[in-house]
Structure 1
Amino acid sequence: MAAFVRSNIAFRERISGRPDWNLPDGRTICRYLRQNKNKDEVEMEFSNQQKLIVTLLTDIHARLGIDNGIDPLFVQRMVRDDHGWALGWAYPGLFGDGVEVPEAVTFVAEVLGMWEAIEEAYAGFDRVRREQLARLAPAFGRDPRFRGFDGNHEADLRGIVQILVDDLGRWPIFKGRDTDSHRILADSYRRMLEVYERLSGAGCASGLSVEALAEILNAEIIPKSGMELDADVLLRA
């Protein structure tokens, strides 16, 4: 255990700009992913044979009760479900070159970062500003909260949320929340992210004004395409 901890510390001293994955600092993680999208990192994909080997080894590890800072059941589950990227986040000292982060993970991290900023901004509003937001964004401006992704059609994205929040301890503001939105929201989040990134610059800033927050929330409404929903319909949904 001590040797593993020392390797983690030494690794963090060598890297430059990479966040401490063991800390739930969502904005730092979001910023790092955005700045390092095109950098070459190690892929963490496993063949069926490798999955079998990992399963057997982690079963042995768990049965022997080895305490070396690695959770064998977590490793087994991430490998089995093709989420090898999560191992790089959980155990950065083991992967000196970093682990490639899939686009879906980057997208979900950006969505979580955006919603963290939205909820923190709203929590800081007084009654007057909350009423103003409700007027400027009538469909979604009343108590805006991250609702997750559709459990049926966006199960992969919802699963990434659960790994980031529940397994890895990132974005603790969403810990324990039901993340099944019961309707498809990925495209809505993409429209919101475009506005959020434009308004916040780095894409992970806080301190949004009422007007900025209203513009972001209004982007969730389906644009005119024959499928546009009236605000009253959205409020009843």
Structure 2
Amino acid sequence: MRSAESPSVSPGEKLILSMLCDLNRKVEAKGMIDPDFLEYAIQGGHIWALEWQYPSLAHRHVNGQAHADLVIRILTMWGLIEKSFHALPEPEKARIMQDAGLTAELSFPGWHDESEANYRSIARFMTERMNLFPAFRRHAGRVSGEVLVGRYKKMLQYFDQLESDPADRLLTGPELAALLEQFQIEH
């Protein structure tokens, strides 16, 4: 739903935007904003059209540092889970998958599309725009049919209590099994 309020642009801002549109055309810059559309909208008093044409510029939502920090912790943990799992011998992988009730390859499950959209957006930004967590580039923004952040937090509680820093080593089979058991516990 679009904002009921019409954004306002001062005369000075109109002048600056118009000059930037001229400059953009002069250097033949290619970008997300069409300078002709922008200038016509401003000159014609159709500021409302900017929100329609470029909705990502009009929203007032900002993802916070706390959400970003949690995504980093979750992706770090799941990266180690995936890496450790792949390093295990096949019989141990099969046992862990059976114990965890997994029928497909062990992989980061993703985020609920509606209630965890902020986390998903942050994860995608980190992997696609910041080039962080390259192993997650294809699945950091995976959509899950379930709300999972609470389960990830439960896993992190266990993960944080491991005796030695798991970032310096691979997880053992029993540690993986215990982590996945935390994931199965419903809140």
TM-score normalised according to structure 2 size: 0.64
Change (3 A) 1:127 1:163: same
- Give the aligned residue type for 2:181: N
Whether contact under 8 Å (2:127, 2:137) holds in the other structure is yes
> 2 CA distance for matches of 1:195 and 1:141?
24
Structure 2 residue 167 is matched with structure 1 residue 222: no
The counterpart of 1:149, out of the listed 107, 111, 114, is: 111
Aligned to 1:134: 97
Aligned to 1:192: 155
Change (3 A) 1:82 1:216: same
- Sequence identity (%): 18
> 1 CA distance for matches of 2:152 and 2:84?
18
> 2 CA distance for matches of 1:157 and 1:131?
31
TM-score normalised according to structure 1 size: 0.52
Pairing of 1:21-60 with structure 2 (within 5 A): none
- Name segments (4+ residues, structure 1) moved above 3 Å: 59-66, 77-83, 200-206
> 1 CA distance for matches of 2:169 and 2:24?
42
Cα offset, 1:175, TM superposition: 1.2
Aligned to 1:104: 67
Aligned to 2:79: 116
Deviation per CA, 1:134-192: give whole Å up to 9, x if none.
Answer: 34x33248622112110011111111111111111111111122511121000000001
Structure 2 residue 124 is matched with structure 1 residue 173: no
Deviation per CA, 1:96-130: give whole Å up to 9, x if none.
Answer: xxxxx610110011000001001111111221221
The counterpart of 1:160, out of the listed 99, 122, 132, is: 122
Cα offset, 1:72, TM superposition: 8.3
Paired residues, number:
150
Unaligned runs of 5+ in 2: 1-6, 34-55
Whether contact under 8 Å (1:165, 1:172) holds in the other structure is yes
Structure 2 residue 173 is matched with structure 1 residue 210: yes
Bigger CA radius of gyration? 2
> 2 CA distance for matches of 1:169 and 1:134?
30
Cα offset, 1:205, TM superposition: 4.2
> 2 CA distance for matches of 1:81 and 1:169?
25
Cα offset, 1:206, TM superposition: 4.0
